[in-house]
Amino acid sequence: MFWVRLRSGIILMAVAIVMLVLGGPVMFAGTLAISLIGMSELYRILQFDRQMPAIVSYLAAGVYFSLIYLGHTEWLMLTLVAYLLVLLAVYVFSYPRYTAPQVMMAFFGIFYVAVMISYMYQIRNLENGVHLVWLVFISSWGCDTCAYCAGMLFGKHKMAPVLSPKKSVEGAIGGILGAALIGLIYALIFRGYLTIFRNPMISLALIGAVGGAISMVGDLAASAIKRYYDIKDYGTLIPGHGGILDRFDSVIITAPLVYYLILLLQQVS
C-alpha cells in the first residue's frame, strides 16, 4: 500500500506541476476536470451522480468556469441564480423522483467543489500568479505534513476526538507554524518574482499560517461528511489516496482564502 500511495502521489504531483506551470487553457481544463470529478464523487454518496440534478450541476459548473475563462465575471452570480432556478424546476416537475437532500446536496456541491476550486485558476491568472498559486498547496498540504509530524512527536490533547481521534492540538499548532515557515522560506527563494508585495516574507508567512489553519477546517469538514454517510473514501480514482475530494479536501477551502488574502496584502503590505 505504501508504494502504491507513493507512486500515485508522485504522478499526482507531476500532473499538478505541469498544470500550474503552464497555466492558461491547461490550468483551466485541469481545474474544471477536478471540479467535475469532485462533484460526481459527492453526488455519488446520494446515488444521483448520473441523474438530472447532477447533470444540471455539471453544466452549471462548466458555464461558471467558462465565464471566468472569458473574463465575464459580472455574470457569475446570475449564472448561479439561474442554476438554482433550473435545479428547483427539475425537483418540482419530477417530484417525487428526487428527494430534498439530493437537491440540496446538488446545490451544495457546485459551491463546495466547483466555485471554491475555481479560485486556483483565478490565483494563477493574477500578476505573479505562476508563483502565487503554490501558496494554496503550501498552506494545505504543507500544514497537513507538518501537523502530522508535530502530532506524532508532541501530540497529547485531542482536537476533535469523535471526528478525528488522531488529530491533536499540538499537531494543529505545529501545522500552522510549519506552513508559515514554509511560506517564509518560499518567499526568501522567490522574492524577486513576488513583486506585488512590499514585504513578501511577512505576506507569505501570514498566508501560510492563516491558510494552514483554514485548511484543517476543510479537512475535518470532509471527514465529517464521510463519517455521516459512513464511507471510507469519496472515490478510488487515486490509488492509495481515494478520490479527488480525499486529496483536495483542504485545498478546496484554502484556495478562495489565499486568493483574497493575496488581494488584501497586495494593498496593505
Q: How confident is the model at residue 177 (pLDDT cuts 50, 70, 90)?
A: very high
- pLDDT of residue 83 exceeding 90, the answer is yes
Q: How confident is the model at residue 14 (pLDDT cuts 50, 70, 90)?
A: confident
- pLDDT of residue 6 exceeding 70, the answer is no
140: domain range? Answer: 129-269
- Asked if 106 and 146 sit in the same domain, the reply is no
Q: How confident is the model at residue 164 (pLDDT cuts 50, 70, 90)?
A: confident
- Asked if 140 and 119 sit in the same domain, the reply is no
Rounded Cα distance between 20 and 24, Å, is 9
Mind listing the pLDDT tens digit for each residue in 198-248?
999 999 999 999 999 999 999 899 889 988 988 888 877 777 677 889 888
Q: Positive or negative CA dihedral for 143, 192, 257, 43?
A: negative
- Asked if 259 and 133 sit in the same domain, the reply is yes
- Asked if 162 and 94 sit in the same domain, the reply is no
Distances (CA, A) of 257 to 20, 59, 99, 123, 218: 18, 25, 33, 11, 12
Mind listing the pLDDT tens digit for each residue in 95-142?
999 999 999 999 999 999 999 999 999 999 999 999 999 999 999 989
3-state secondary structure of 112: helix
Mind listing the pLDDT tens digit for each residue in 31-73?
999 999 999 999 999 889 999 999 999 999 999 999 999 999 9
- Asked if 120 and 160 sit in the same domain, the reply is no
- State what percent of residues in the chain have pLDDT above 90: 70
- Asked if 101 and 216 sit in the same domain, the reply is no
Q: Which of 84, 103, 125 is the last residue of a domain?
A: 125
Rounded Cα distance between 171 and 180, Å, is 14
- Asked if 183 and 93 sit in the same domain, the reply is no
Rounded Cα distance between 260 and 158, Å, is 31
As for how many domains the chain has, the answer is: 2
Rounded Cα distance between 175 and 218, Å, is 14
- Asked if 166 and 189 sit in the same domain, the reply is yes
- Asked if 268 and 142 sit in the same domain, the reply is yes
Q: Which of 93, 108, 125 is the last residue of a domain?
A: 125
Rounded Cα distance between 26 and 47, Å, is 31
- Asked if 140 and 117 sit in the same domain, the reply is no
Q: Cell numbers of 14, please?
A: 507531476
- Asked if 170 and 114 sit in the same domain, the reply is no
Write down the pLDDT at residue 240: 66
- Asked if 118 and 157 sit in the same domain, the reply is no
Q: Which of 81, 110, 125 is the last residue of a domain?
A: 125
